[in-house]
Amino acid sequence: MSNVDYKVLVGLEIHVQLYTRTKMFCGCELAFGAEPNSRVCPVCLGMPGSLPVMNKQAVEFSILAGLALNCQIPSFTKWDRKGYYYPDLPKNYQISQYDLPLALNGYIEIPAKDGSFKKIRIKRAHLEEDAGKNLHTAGNFSQVDLNRAGTPLLEIVTEPDMNTAAEVRTLAEELQRIVRYLGVSEADMQKGHMRFEPNVNLIINRAGQEFKTPIVEVKNLNSFKALENSINYEIGRQLDRFLETGETMEMGNKSTRGWDDAKEVTVLQREKEEAHDYRYFPDPDLVPVRVNEQWLNEIKSRLCELPFSRRMRYTKEYSLNDYDAGVLTNDRQVADFFEATVQAGGEPKRVCNLLTQVGLKLANARGCAITELGPKPADIAQLAKMAQTGEISATAANTILEEMVKTGKAPRELAEQLNLIQKSDAGELEGIVDEVLKSNPQAAADFKEGGKKSGKAKGFLLGQVMQKTKGRANPKVASEILDKKLA
């Protein structure tokens, strides 16, 4: 199998539930975990004579996301009916967009292995309503919960520009960050706010000829792990099937498969319908959407600096490494808090360490945002300055931040209260160094000899100074005094 020359092609469909208060075409409230069928009305139940009314905020959220994905926003778009029967679709059609979506021809950049960036084209992003949910846990029958029916969904469709499962996962993670930054979706996959459907096939080169395997769409994946694993499995399955049967795209129809998380395999569901099977036609109950320049500019004004750009800026402006910049910009609130702290006078790298090593851990443990821990940016900036000037050690700074969260007290007050102010008085430290050298003549001699023993000897002596001062000696000042005494 390893000798077979092949290329993987993956396009991705991403369904993003928009963070609106009500549904797409009616006034029913969106509430996760509500009692089944308690958030429904004649419109989302598909009752005869009920008429849909468009949710303007959902349209604006979709346009905002399209702008962030570098898409073109047409001045005219319309609604279409996508006809199919399924128990969780009470109207027997879904209101969607077919040939005139709200956004098209965009792109998103993701980091490549070689340090460069790869551009993934966005084919389209269209707005539609979600279906309800079938439940199969009550016994030997199924139930239908229509609370989700009519929820506004933005479907983002990429071109098949990704060639590994890892690339697809990277793109999905970046999209999650983007929609969260914009505030258009909570993108909580455990609540079904974001679902992925990769379209996978292979181009196999054999004896100078190219063969394409039939495209497989893996449906309704709700975790990054499932997304990556299902694609990797599907690559191996398609390759094995081609080598066994020689089946190509021309011979087999596109099919959909589900992902069995327990067995870690994809399972055949059905052959995929084509567009004509859905009998698309313009929805007669809804007027088209016309986006004029004034409205578009107003939506554009809501764009913020996106996570990708922010990461790049942090590495250049603050000299942070890629990992630290990635951790800080993963969440907009954390990034905003970091920048506010730096603007308040905190040294960027030291602020980064305080937030990533202590702040985020405390926030995760408490199940809250970093902004809800208590300390303000000015407080943490002051703490960072104290560590930067050597007034306290880096370890002490971490301890003080934990106490700031517990008590709400100021950093200097806590440093004094906990006896964590470092001794930097050269005269006082000089006497302590003299005592250490007098008590450890062999270590002093080893240092003066030079060679391998020298470094170990100095480390030992410095450790003795720290021990005598109960860790309160400024290591830099103590080290300079030791060098001077031993020279």
If you search the block for the tokens 């979506």, which residue do you land on?
101
Q: Which pLDDT score, from 0 to 100, does residue 426 have?
A: 57
Structure tokens at 407: 């008590």
Residue 183 CB: number of other CB atoms within 10 A? 13
Asked if 413 and 403 touch (Cβ cutoff 8 Å), the reply is no
Burial 15-33 (b: 16+ CB within 10 A, else e): bbbbbbebbbbbebebeee
- Mean pLDDT value across residues 111-119: 86
Q: Which pLDDT score, from 0 to 100, does residue 195 have?
A: 96
Q: Which pLDDT score, from 0 to 100, does residue 1 have?
A: 44
Of the pLDDT bands very low, low, confident and very high (cuts 50, 70, 90), residue 427 is low
Q: List phi, psi (to 5°) of 166.
A: -65, -40
- Mean pLDDT value across residues 292-310: 96
Checking DSSP bridges between strand 76-77 and strand 265-271, what pairing results, if any? unpaired
Using alpha carbons only, give the angle 290, 294, 295 rounded to the nearest 5 degrees: 50
Q: Which pLDDT score, from 0 to 100, does residue 430 have?
A: 66
Of the pLDDT bands very low, low, confident and very high (cuts 50, 70, 90), residue 485 is low
Quick: pLDDT tens for 329-344. 999 999 999 999 999 9
Quick: pLDDT tens for 442-459. 767 766 766 666 767 767
Domain 426-486 bears CATH identifier 1.10.10.410: yes
From first CA to last CA, the distance across the chain in angstroms is 67
Q: Taking the model in full, what pTM does it have? A: 0.85
Burial 202-236 (b: 16+ CB within 10 A, else e): bebeeeeeebebbbbbbbebbbbebbbbbbbbbbe
Closest by CA to 89, choosing from 131, 39, 47, is 131
User: Distance (Å, rounded) from C-alpha 465 to C-alpha 395?
Assistant: 17
Closest by CA to 352, choosing from 329, 375, 373, is 329
* Average pLDDT, rounded, for the chain: 90
H or E stretch covering 6: strand 5-17
Q: Which pLDDT score, from 0 to 100, does residue 4 have?
A: 83
How many residues are listed for the chain in this entry?
Answer: 487
Q: Could you give the percent of the chain with pLDDT greater than 90?
A: 72
In this model, does residue 166 exceed pLDDT 70? Answer: yes
User: Distance (Å, rounded) from C-alpha 462 to C-alpha 33?
Assistant: 59
Of the pLDDT bands very low, low, confident and very high (cuts 50, 70, 90), residue 375 is very high
- Mean pLDDT value across residues 213-232: 96
Helices (H), 357-425: 360-366, 377-388, 394-407, 411-417
Q: Domain extents for the chain?
A: 5-294, 307-417, 426-486
Of the pLDDT bands very low, low, confident and very high (cuts 50, 70, 90), residue 81 is very high
Of the pLDDT bands very low, low, confident and very high (cuts 50, 70, 90), residue 278 is confident
**Listed range (122-126, 278-282, 403-407, 466-470) with the worst mean pLDDT:** 466-470
Q: Which pLDDT score, from 0 to 100, does residue 112 have?
A: 84
Structure tokens at 444: 């002093």
Q: Could you give the percent of the chain with pLDDT greater than 70?
A: 90
H or E stretch covering 430: helix 426-439
